[in-house]
Structures are given as C-alpha cells and as structure tokens.
C-alpha cells in the first residue's frame, strides 16, 4: 500500500467547509506544467479517475480506479492515515493560529531548560531562515505550527543533537495532552550556516495513538505482520506495526518497498511517500510537485515487477496539498485510488467510496476472518463489479 502524501484528486463535496473549494492537486499541477508525464500511472488508469493534462486513458486500465472521500473532521496526515485504516475521527484536534498559550510554552521551557523562538504558524523552510541565526546565538529551539494540529520543533544539529531534539519533542508530547492534545509533535533538524540553512534527515513524528481500533490492530491480532515504511509507524504511534523502516524520502521509500516485496513472504507493506507534501505542496511549487510525480512514476515499475500472484497493490493518498492554491496548507479533497493485482483484469472497474474502504479491503485480502467491529468503510470487491464513480467535484 502506497500513500502519496498530499496527492489529492479534486475538491471534496464538503471542501467549502474547510476553505478549500476549487482545490485540485493533481488537476492543477498537470495544468500548471503543461501536462504530466507518468506512463506507469497512466497504464494503471490514473487518467480515468479525472481528466488530467498529459495523461491518457487506456482502453483497459491495469487497475481498478476510483476516488475516496474523507469523513473525519480534519484534513491532516494523521487523521487521513487513521481513517484509511478504518479509524474515523469525529472531532478536529486543536490548532493554534495565534501560537501556543503560555502554559504550554512555559512548561516546554521548564522541561528543556531552554527558551524558545517564534511560536507562530510558519513555513518550515522560512522559519529556519528567519530564526536560525538567533537559534545559534541563544540555543533556544524554534517552535512553530501551521494550519494543521502540529507542534514543530526545529533545531540546528550543532546546537541540539538529534537525541536532545527528540527528548525535547518527547517532553512536548507529554505536555500537549487534554485540551492541548495536538495531533503530532514533529522534530525538524537542520544544518548549514546563516543564509544557507537546510533541513536534514532525522525528522520524527510523535503522534497521538489512534482513538479507536484500526485495521493494523486487526492484522496484528490475526498474526499478520505489518511493515511500516517511512513515517507509518510514527503516525500510528507504533501501534499495530511490527517492523519500522524509516526512510529519507520517496526514492528511499520506493526502494525499501521493492526490497521488502522481494524479501517478505506475507503481510502488509504500508508506505508513506512524503516528498509531494513536505517538499512541494507546502512550498507552493507545482513544477517540483510534477517532477516528484514523474520520479515516483519512474520508480513504480520496479515495485510492479516484483509483485507475485496473490499480491495486491493499493495506491492512494491521505489528503490534498494543491501547490497552486493560495495557502500552503492541506486541502480537503477526494484522493485517488488505484488497485492492482498481477494477472487480474479489472475490466474497467471503478469504485466510489471513502477512506475506510482501504482498510476493509486490506483485511479482506490478508485476514478475512479478523473482526471488523469499530472500523469504518466497506471492502472493495476484488475481482468483480464495483460501484459507479461519483460526479461531484
């Protein structure tokens, strides 16, 4: 299962409630660059989900195609991943458009023995340019947030090593409980000199545990191993994930998936591919986003080639992040769905459903006898007829 972080497929029916009417990550990126070049995704049927400049529609797509709607009350990464695995969230976690209140920041300073800088919504790359030099002078970490429910801590590798940064984030996670229970605390290490600061590998997400059962819990209970690639284990607070495979980005993630498909005989390989969202969506960079899609597409055949009879590939997303949209935040969008199995001709099958359908389908494929109580969604019938596509945009 490949989650293309931030790759939405058109404004959801309720997008206006989130200020996202008109968002369309894939459609707007394709238009902005004069057409996408993604032949592997085209063969699977990406162009059959919605019209995309540069992407044709094959007569017989190699995958079932569709779009999924989010039902949870938020549009962040954690909420999206949880709902994909059947855990719908009916409340929006707290956000802090004016920064975190004194009781949070005072407790953070007491726990770390340091002060803090910024404490406001900010772009992750801009905030280190703005506050990086002061951070090096004072030793105070940079704390910032966004429109999402996140508490982010940026620190230079020469001022706070990874272990101290992680300890500071763990302290923040314990402080941010009750009414301040943000979805994620994120460690953001960086390096370089003033004027040339850059993020470096070592990001760590400390999420709340899912608020209910997930398909990962059901798989684990049935003895089915779950391999989390990228930040999957972190997003689920390591619950229901047997093996954690951190990665440095999409290329590393796809290489790890291909390796696991060669080495693992059974179970779920569940990958988050973060570069679309982190590097291009949040930076309003449609050209970079399109190039990232092309790079993913070039790596996809290596995964398709190692699929064996009895394997199932699901490609989807967790939310939108339209780089042409006025804001730099996530968007409430449909997400694409491509479902492929070696030797299966889906015969043009389409599916219109919700995020939780993915988790139910994973359970049908890997642990059909596992209990489903408390999980949202319905399984996609594979192979066989599927429901018609929706027309709402």
Task: Tell me the pLDDT tens digit for each residue of 232-264.
Answer: 999 999 999 999 999 999 999 999 999 999 999
The reply to whether omega before 6 is within 30° of 0 (cis) is no
Give me the pLDDT at residue 256, please. Answer: 98
| Predicted TM-score of the model (pTM) | 0.91
Q: Report the percent of the chain where pLDDT is more than 90.
A: 95
* Tokens standing for residue 221: 């209970």
Whether residue 287 is predicted with pLDDT greater than 70 in this model: the reply is yes
- Cα–Cα distance between 44 and 92 in angstroms, integer? 35
At residue 343's C-alpha, the angle toward residues 339 and 347, to 5°, is 60
> Quick one: average pLDDT of 326-331?
93
Tokens representing residue 378 in the block: 């319905």
> Vertex 215, ends 239 and 354: CA angle to 5°?
125
pLDDT at site 148: 87
**Domain ranges in the chain with CATH number 3.40.720.10:** 2-91+209-366
Rounded to a whole number of angstroms, the CA Rg of the chain reads: 20
What mean pLDDT do residues 358-369 have? Answer: 97
Q: What rounded mean pLDDT belongs to the chain?
A: 95
**Could you give the residue range(s) of every CATH 3.30.70.1250 domain in the chain?**
102-207
**What is the predicted pLDDT for the residue at 383?**
64
Write out pLDDT tens, residues 18-74: 999 999 999 999 999 999 999 999 999 999 999 999 999 999 999 999 999 999 999
| 291 token code pair | 């190039």
Q: Are 347 and 370 in contact (CB under 8 A)?
A: no
Mean pLDDT, residues 347-370 taken together? 96
Architecture of domain 102-207: 2-Layer Sandwich (3.30)
Residues 6+ apart with CB under 8 A from 178: none
| CATH number for the domain running over 2-91+209-366 | 3.40.720.10
């Amino acid at each position: 299962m490949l989650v293309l972080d931030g790759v939405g497929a058109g404004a959801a029916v309720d997008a206006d409630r989130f200020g996202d009417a008109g968002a369309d990550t894939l459609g707007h990126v394709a238009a902005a660059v004069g057409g996408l070049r993604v032949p592997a995704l085209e063969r699977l049927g990406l162009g059959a989900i919605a019209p995309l400049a540069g992407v044709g529609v094959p007569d017989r797509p190699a995958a079932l195609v569709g779009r999924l709607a989010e039902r949870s009350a938020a549009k962040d990464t954690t909420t999206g991943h949880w709902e994909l695995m059947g855990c719908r969230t009916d409340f929006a976690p707290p956000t802090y458009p004016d920064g975190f209140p004194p009781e949070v920041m005072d407790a953070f300073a007491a726990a770390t023995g340091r002060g803090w800088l910024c404490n406001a919504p900010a772009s992750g790359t801009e905030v280190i340019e703005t506050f990086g030099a002061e951070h090096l002078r004072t030793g105070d970490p940079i704390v910032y947030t966004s429109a999402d429910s996140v508490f982010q801590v940026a620190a230079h590798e020469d001022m706070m090593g990874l272990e101290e940064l992680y300890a500071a984030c763990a302290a923040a996670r314990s402080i941010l409980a009750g009414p301040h229970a943000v979805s994620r605390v994120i460690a953001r290490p960086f390096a370089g000199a003033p004027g040339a600061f850059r993020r470096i590998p070592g990001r760590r997400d400390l999420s709340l545990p899912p608020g209910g059962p997930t398909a990962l819990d059901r798989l684990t209970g049935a003895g089915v191993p779950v391999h989390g690639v990228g930040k999957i284990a972190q997003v689920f607070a390591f619950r229901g994930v047997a093996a954690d495979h951190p990665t440095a980005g999409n290329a590393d993630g796809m290489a790890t998936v291909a390796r696991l498909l060669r080495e693992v005989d059974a179970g779920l390989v569940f990958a988050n591919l973060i570069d679309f969202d982190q590097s291009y969506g949040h930076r309003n960079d449609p050209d970079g986003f399109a190039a990232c899609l092309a790079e993913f597409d070039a790596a996809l055949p290596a995964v398709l080639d190692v699929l064996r009879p009895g394997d199932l590939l699901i490609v989807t997303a967790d939310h939108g992040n339209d780089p042409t949209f006025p804001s730099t935040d996530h968007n409430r969008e449909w997400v694409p769905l491509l479902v492929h199995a070696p030797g299966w001709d889906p015969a043009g099958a389409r599916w219109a459903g919700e995020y939780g359908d993915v988790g139910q389908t994973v359970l049908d494929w890997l642990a059909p006898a596992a209990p489903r109580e408390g999980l949202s969604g319905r399984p996609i019938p594979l192979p066989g007829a599927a429901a018609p596509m929706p027309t709402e945009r």
